Amino acid sequence: MPKKDPVTGKLKWYKSEGAVSVYSALISILIGMAVGSIIVIIVGMTKSNISTSGVWDGIRLVFLGVFSTGRDSAGQLSFGFNGVNIGNMLFRAVPLIMTGLSVAIAFKTGLFNIGASGQYLMGTMGTLSVGLWLGWTGCPKGIAWLLAFLVGVLLGGLWGAIPGIFKAYLNINEVITCIMTNWIAANLVTWWFDAHESFKNAAEGGKVGYIIPLKNVGVVTPKLLMDKIFAGSQANGGFWIAILIAVAMWIMMTKTTFGYELRACGANRHAAKYAGINDKRNIILSMAIAGALAAAGASLYFLSGNTEFYWSTYQKLPAEGFNGIPVALLAANHPIGVVFSGIFMSMLNISGLQLKYLTAYNEYIADIIIAVIVYLSAFSMLFKTVLSKKIKHDHGNVNAEPEGTEDEDAPEENPKEIASAETEEGGQK
């Protein structure tokens, strides 16, 4: 078998499963952007106020929005290194990376955390309240920062544990409970801020309805060189913290017994239970960690200082929560991959804003592209299967079968077993 390394028996790195995941993610991205471009073209052709050059501008911004430097004196789009855009991209990537991690860790345990929005809101509430309160009491800023962050994370973790408890003890689908807890969180948070006038930004005109930003009390994340690299942008040290957390998650999932347990529960809860792993505890812990991560995203976002929170949120859930889903899917739930896909999603958002400012189009084209990518990642297994077949077609026993079917209740009806039993006979001959 020429495709395998003769020493380790492993496939070469560019043919490994991880590489295949990357290829399939890239395919999804390309198709997503192509769909976005097609919409740009179609709309451009049907709208009289958009010229051919307007369409061309739109397409270029879909792909290269983050490198846009505005329009030159002749009114043409110009491109180049835009420190503000790129810095803002990294800044906005932080909550996406964190909610992406949240969804990914839950996924690895076999849970679909669609409740990141609610957890994010709980984190927002905890961080803003503690940050402002400690800021006013004159607590040392470093300690205030840490406590604000930790309380936010803790609240998110507790909130995430609720669907976990429902799942573990009552076997209620976490998707439904997550959606319910999202809306409950939205109401709770609004209620909390509505009842605490002191948190509301009454000083600045036009900022009614917003919570006082944390920079007013000086509880902010240090820049950690980001202001030097991307001068003028909102980027700060939160980005480095997000990367650290992602690496920690990767180590936790792949190197520790705890990660082994979580993944075992996710891949086959019954087998995990059989092996003596406390499946209930792991499910709750997994959701709590997921909740904490989503909340950490909110904490880091608002601890940047200059971000503002519109507190009357009971009718609208924060988009960051749902956008964690495509981030995780695109990264095939790999914690390190999440960093890259988070940055990519953030880039799409920046592109969307460029479209809004510089063309007759609007920012929702980015959301469409993201939705298309999620749609495609739903059958990324198909891409992977096709790619894997191409790569390993001469590699005997690797049946290209979708994952996650082992929980079938009647494995004897499972043709895989019949097929493989027959393989055995053939193979041992």
Partner 1 sequence: MSEYVIEMNHIRKEFPGIVANDDITLQLRKGEIHALLGENGAGKSTLMSVLFGLYQPEAGEIKKNGEVVKINNPNDATALGIGMVHQHFKLIDVFTVLDNIILGAETTGALGFLKKKEAREKVMALSEKYGLKVDVDAKVEDITVGMQQRVEILKMLYRDNDILIFDEPTAVLTPQEIDELMEIMRGFAKEGKSILFITHKLNEIMAVSDRVTVLRKGKYIGTVNTKDTNKQELSNMMVGRPVQLELKKKEATPGETVLKVEGLTVPSKIHKNNAVNNVSFEVRAGEILCIAGIDGNGQTELIFGLTGLEKASAGTITLCGQDISKASIRKRALAGMSHIPEDRHKHGLVLSYTLEQNLVLQKYKEPRFQNHGFIKFDEVRKYSEKLIKDFDVRSGQGPITVTRSMSGGNQQKAIIARELDRNEPLLIAVQPTRGLDVGAIEHIHNQIVAERDKGHAVLLVSLELEEVMGLSDRILVIYEGEIVGEVDPKKTTPEELGLYMSGAKRQEEGGKADA
Partner 2 sequence: MVFLLQQMMLYAVPLMIVALAGVCAERSGVINLALEGIMIFGAFMGVVFVRIFQGAGWTVEQGQLIMLISLILSGICGILFSMLLAFSAINLKADQTIGGTALNMLAPALVMFFIYMIVQQNTMGMAEGGAAGWFMIKPSTFGFPKGYSFGPVGDFFLNKVYLTTYICIIIFILVSIFLYKTKTGMRLRSCGENPQAADSLGINVYKMRYLGVGLSGFLAGVGGFTFAMTTANMTSNGDVAGYGFLALAVMIFGNWTPLNIAGGSILFGLFKCIAATYSTLDINGDGVFMLNELGISPYVYRMLPYIITLVVLAFTSKSSRVPKAEGIPYDKGMR
Least distance CB 119 / partner 2 (angstroms): 15
3-state secondary structure 191-236: HHHHHCHHHECCCCCCCCCEECCHHHCCCCCCCCCHHHHCCCCCCC
Question: Which of 14, 63, 191, 310 is the binder for partner 2 (CB under 8 A)?
Answer: 191
β-partners of residue 200 are 211
**Six-digit token string for 60:** 């270029």
Whether 306 and 56 have beta carbons less than 8 Å apart is answered as: no
**With respect to partner 2, which residue has the nearer C-beta, 176 or 231?**
176
- Count CA within 13 A, CB hemisphere, residue 88: 20
**With respect to partner 1, which residue has the nearer C-beta, 194 or 424?**
424
Q: Which range in 130-138, 173-181, 207-215, 239-247 contacts partner 2 by CB under 8 A?
A: 173-181
Contact letters for partner 2, residues 110-139 (x by CB under 8 A): --x-x-------------------------
Q: Which long-range contacts (CB under 8 A, 24 or more apart) does 37-42 make?
A: 37/62, 37/63, 39/365, 39/368, 40/361, 40/365
Q: Is 352 exposed, middle or buried (0-12, 13-18, 19+ CB in 10 A)?
A: buried
Tell me if 27 contacts partner 2 by CB under 8 A. Answer: no
**Six-digit token string for 86:** 């790129």
Whether 238 and 304 have beta carbons less than 8 Å apart is answered as: yes
**With respect to partner 2, which residue has the nearer C-beta, 251 or 419?**
419
Tell me if 239 contacts partner 2 by CB under 8 A. Answer: no
Number of residues that bind partner 2 (CB under 8 A): 54
232 binds, among partner 1, partner 2, none (CB under 5 to 8 A by kind): none
Tell me if 379 contacts partner 2 by CB under 8 A. Answer: yes
Rounded-to-integer distance, Cα 346 and Cα 366, Å: 10
- Give SS3 for 68: strand
Tell me if 240 contacts partner 2 by CB under 8 A. Answer: no
Question: Which of 200, 215, 273, 416 is the binder for partner 2 (CB under 8 A)?
Answer: 416
Tell me if 362 contacts partner 2 by CB under 8 A. Answer: yes
* Binding positions for partner 2, rule: CB under 8 A: 39, 43, 47, 112, 114, 166, 170-173, 175-177, 179-181, 183-184, 187-188, 190-191, 194-195, 314-316, 322, 325-326, 329, 361-362, 364-365, 367-368, 370-372, 374-375, 377-379, 381-382, 402, 404-405, 408, 413, 415-416
